[in-house]
């Protein structure tokens, strides 16, 4: 089934490492944006079956529960949203309260994903985050009180000034908080990130690469011991709480991205909506398409994409099935290069299935280069 991604580009302040499509909250623009997004949803749908809706940002939880409710209602009007659909709201801890969480739940959201990033206040401050560690713990509790049975927390590792033991402290506190799903990301410093200047000014440095590897492996080991199961390079969960929406990205699925800057992949085509919030609103309100940059993908590109993303999963992927789908013998084409990784112990080949070992996940980019 199709997944829907709805982008909400507003934030209360801008974090110094952030490279997403977002801007400062403006109440007037937000109202116009929600109306435009409703219109785009209604125009995009043809009654297709949908089983995931994902509000990403930005900070989607800055919208009022009634606005989230209107957008979900539009999705239900334009698409055939499955009764058991996963409906996720990315949420920043400082925007949470029991009342708001109740409202989001009543609006139809059934999964919340909190951007926690760290459980140490010094690290949160360095990243320009607005919440404290205690606020993040309280927010997860508020979501539980409101009845959410599917809560995800994001943590970032390899932060400026972070040691392996600082990282372990955050992981321990995360486990104590008891989420159903966890995402662990490595901080990526893009070239002009203000955080780079902050680091130079304050003398914060990144731990050596070996420490980043240790953070990744020790974090996953602690989560294993606490009963979580890794299912993707950066994601673990309990009891079948995998992100059904994100699995579409990794299993050659199809999704429609709605809102400014959102990407879509469907029917062998890929496109992106115009990035600017104001321009997006103008286009939609004036009946012009929000999409630009529409391109058809060749069978070869689609296969490469399927291989590239499928390797992110701990189950890996079946190269025979993927090859049959796109008419290419995968091992005949890439086998020589892949064999070197099998011999190095970072890739496993079990019959027609290939998958990265956990150590292999540390060098995933090198292995994936084989396909691009």
For position 92 contacting ligand SF4 by CB under 6 A, the verdict is: yes
For position 183 contacting ligand SF4 by CB under 6 A, the verdict is: no
Euclidean distance between CA atoms 92 and 262, whole angstroms: 20
**Interface with ligand SF4 (CB under 6 A), residue from 3, 37, 38, 57:** 57
Q: Which is nearer to ligand SF4, 94 or 252 (CB)?
A: 94
Euclidean distance between CA atoms 257 and 268, whole angstroms: 15
Dmax over Cα atoms in the chain, in whole Å? 59
Range 254-273, binding ligand SF4 (CB under 6 A): none
User: Is there a contact between 86 and 180 (Cβ–Cβ < 8 Å)?
Assistant: no
Q: Which is nearer to ligand SF4, 93 or 360 (CB)?
A: 93
- Count of positions on this chain that bind ligand SF4 (CB under 6 A): 11
Q: Computed from CA positions of residues 104, 105, 106, 107, in that sequence, does the dihedral angle turn out positive or negative?
A: positive
Question: What are the C-alpha distances in Å from 79 to residues 1, 50, 73, 131?
Answer: 11, 7, 10, 36
For position 93 contacting ligand SF4 by CB under 6 A, the verdict is: no
Task: State the nearest-atom distance from the C-beta of 20 to ligand SF4, in Å.
Answer: 4
- Going by C-beta distance under 8 Å and a sequence separation of 6 or more, which residues neighbour residue 56? 5, 6, 7, 8, 90
- The conformation of residue 94, written as its DSSP 8-state character, comes to G
Tell me how many degrees the CA angle 109-113-114 measures, rounded to the nearest 5.
125
**Interface with ligand SF4 (CB under 6 A), residue from 4, 7, 22, 53:** 22
The residue range among 52-60, 140-148, 172-180, 213-221 that interacts with ligand SF4, by the rule CB under 6 A, is 52-60
Q: Which is nearer to ligand SF4, 154 or 232 (CB)?
A: 154
The residue range among 56-64, 136-144, 164-172, 363-371 that interacts with ligand SF4, by the rule CB under 6 A, is 56-64
Task: State the nearest-atom distance from the C-beta of 288 to ligand SF4, in Å.
Answer: 27
- Going by C-beta distance under 8 Å and a sequence separation of 6 or more, which residues neighbour residue 115? 59, 90, 91, 92, 93, 154
Task: State the nearest-atom distance from the C-beta of 57 to ligand SF4, in Å.
Answer: 5
Euclidean distance between CA atoms 347 and 12, whole angstroms: 43
- The conformation of residue 352, written as its DSSP 8-state character, comes to T
Q: What are phi and psi of 49, to 5 degrees?
A: -75, 135
**Interface with ligand SF4 (CB under 6 A), residue from 2, 6, 8, 15:** 15
Q: Which is nearer to ligand SF4, 4 or 11 (CB)?
A: 11
For the record, the structure tokens of 241 come out as 């709480």
**Interface with ligand SF4 (CB under 6 A), residue from 4, 8, 11, 153:** 11
Q: Which is nearer to ligand SF4, 114 or 341 (CB)?
A: 114
Q: 263, 282, 283, 265: which is closest to 273 by C-alpha?
A: 263
Range 311-350, binding ligand SF4 (CB under 6 A): none
DSSP 94-125: GG--HHHHHHHHHHT--EEEEEEE-S-HHHHH
Q: Which is nearer to ligand SF4, 17 or 255 (CB)?
A: 17
For the record, the structure tokens of 165 come out as 């033991």
The residue range among 11-19, 60-68, 154-162, 191-199 that interacts with ligand SF4, by the rule CB under 6 A, is 11-19
Residue with tokens 């049975």: 149
Q: Which is nearer to ligand SF4, 58 or 323 (CB)?
A: 58
Q: Which is nearer to ligand SF4, 3 or 115 (CB)?
A: 115
For position 115 contacting ligand SF4 by CB under 6 A, the verdict is: yes
Task: State the nearest-atom distance from the C-beta of 151 to ligand SF4, in Å.
Answer: 18
Summarize as ranges the residues that interact with ligand SF4 (CB under 6 A).
11, 14-15, 18, 20, 22, 57-59, 92, 115
């Amino acid at each position: 089934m199709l997944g829907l991604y709805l982008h909400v580009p507003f934030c209360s302040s801008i974090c110094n490492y952030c490279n997403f499509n977002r801007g400062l909250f403006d109440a007037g623009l937000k109202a116009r944006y929600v109306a435009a997004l409703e219109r785009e949803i209604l125009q995009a749908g043809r009654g297709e079956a949908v089983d995931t809706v994902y509000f990403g940002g930005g900070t989607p939880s800055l919208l009022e529960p009634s606005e989230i409710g209107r957008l979900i209602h539009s999705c239900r009007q334009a698409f055939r949203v499955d009764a058991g659909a996963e409906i996720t709201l990315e949420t920043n801890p400082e925007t949470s309260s029991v009342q708001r969480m109740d409202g989001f739940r009543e609006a139809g959201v059934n999964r919340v994903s909190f951007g926690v990033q760290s459980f140490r206040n010094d690290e949160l401050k360095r990243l320009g985050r607005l919440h404290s560690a205690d606020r993040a713990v309280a927010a997860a509790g508020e979501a539980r009180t409101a009845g959410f049975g599917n809560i995800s927390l994001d943590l970032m590792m390899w932060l400026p000034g972070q040691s392996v033991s600082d990282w372990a402290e955050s992981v321990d506190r995360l486990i104590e908080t008891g989420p159903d799903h966890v995402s662990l990301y490595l901080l990526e410093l893009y070239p002009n990130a203000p955080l780079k200047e902050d680091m130079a000014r304050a003398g914060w440095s990144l731990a050596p690469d070996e420490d980043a590897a240790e953070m990744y492996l020790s974090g996953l080991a602690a989560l294993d011991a606490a009963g979580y199961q890794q299912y993707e390079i950066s994601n673990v969960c309990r009891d079948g709480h995998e992100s059904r929406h994100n699995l579409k990205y990794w299993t050659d699925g199809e999704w429609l991205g709605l809102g400014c800057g959102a990407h879509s992949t469907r029917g062998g085509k890929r496109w992106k909506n115009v990035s600017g919030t104001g321009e997006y609103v103008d286009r939609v309100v004036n009946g012009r398409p929000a999409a630009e940059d529409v391109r058809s993908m060749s069978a070869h590109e689609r296969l490469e994409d399927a291989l590239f993303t499928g390797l992110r999963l701990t189950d890996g992927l079946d190269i025979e099935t993927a090859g049959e789908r796109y008419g290419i013998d995968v091992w005949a084409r890439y086998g020589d290069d892949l064999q070197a990784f099998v011999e190095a112990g970072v890739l496993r080949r079990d019959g027609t299935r290939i998958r990265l070992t956990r150590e292999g996940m540390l060098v995933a980019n090198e292995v994936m280069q084989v396909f691009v």
